[in-house]
Amino acid sequence: MITHLKSAKDDERSDTLLVFLPGAYLKPDEFEREGFISAVRERHLAADSLLVDADVSYYYDQTLSERLHADVIEPQRALGYKSIWLVGISIGGFGALIHELSRPGSVDGIVALAPYLGRRVLGAEILKAGGLRAWQAPPGPLPDEEVDRKLWPWFKQYLEPQQGQKLPQLYLGFGLDDRFASNHKLLADALPEGRVFTTEGGHDWPQWRQLWRNMLDVLPVPSLGRSPRPAARRAPARVSRASSAKPWAIAA
């Protein structure tokens, strides 16, 4: 994987690294063009940014987790980063989540902006059961090999306080009219208070920029010359029914 490092300070490396995973058919430098990196610097956060050229081919051939770990996470840990966060948009958010599934504990936090979270049929099944709190994964062998069959049971672990403390901190942001919003709201109900951010609008850069700026104000990452900030408490998103998501292959 090709990467591009944007340091918080030109003369030294930070202890915290934000790894940015783009959406499908988006380029990693769009994070910089859309103000994601400048937003980090404006807040004087002691966090370097790494733009990763993780295109959709890694998802199609199912090598995303392997390559992300071998080409990005392990080398950056070896360079001395003590805290690594994955920041993914759309399919990039999905990539951050499935990486944690395959490599538990390899990152310290995940920011998923408008992530693809699986097929409509599975989301409808969870909604019909009364939401993620009430839904139980079918016992026995999985009915198919799609990764979302493993993803949603993993999300349920965030409902258990003791188990959730062992997982990376997960922050979710989405537009209320996003085409994936139905599944986003199912996940929102499982996350701790202060981990869910919403805005008006759909699945595009204006929403992602606003969400990122709002989330940066409370993410527990250190400021230059200061210790990491504690996670702020905010009211969770209201969970309601919404239109079903489309397949990730056509998502940005």
Helix, strand or coil, per DSSP, at residue 174: strand
Residues 83-103 pLDDT 10s: 999 999 999 999 999 999 999
Q: Does position 229 have pLDDT exceeding 80, yes or no?
A: no
Q: Which residues are 89's β-sheet partners?
A: 113
What's CA 39's distance to the chain center, in Å?
Answer: 18
DSSP E strands, 136-181: 169-175
Q: How confident is the model at residue 141 (pLDDT cuts 50, 70, 90)?
A: confident
- Is the Cβ–Cβ distance between 251 and 91 less than 8 Å? yes
Helix, strand or coil, per DSSP, at residue 220: coil
Average pLDDT over residues 197-222: 96
- Is the Cβ–Cβ distance between 50 and 76 less than 8 Å? yes
Q: How confident is the model at residue 67 (pLDDT cuts 50, 70, 90)?
A: very high
What is the pTM for the complete model shown?
A: 0.87
Residues 11-48 pLDDT 10s: 678 999 999 999 999 999 999 999 999 999 999 999 99
- Is the Cβ–Cβ distance between 252 and 203 less than 8 Å? yes
Domains located in the chain, CATH noted: 3-250 (3.40.50.1820)
Helix, strand or coil, per DSSP, at residue 85: strand
Distance CA 43, CA 221 (A): 11
Measure the N-to-C terminal CA separation of the chain; round to a whole number of Å.
Answer: 19
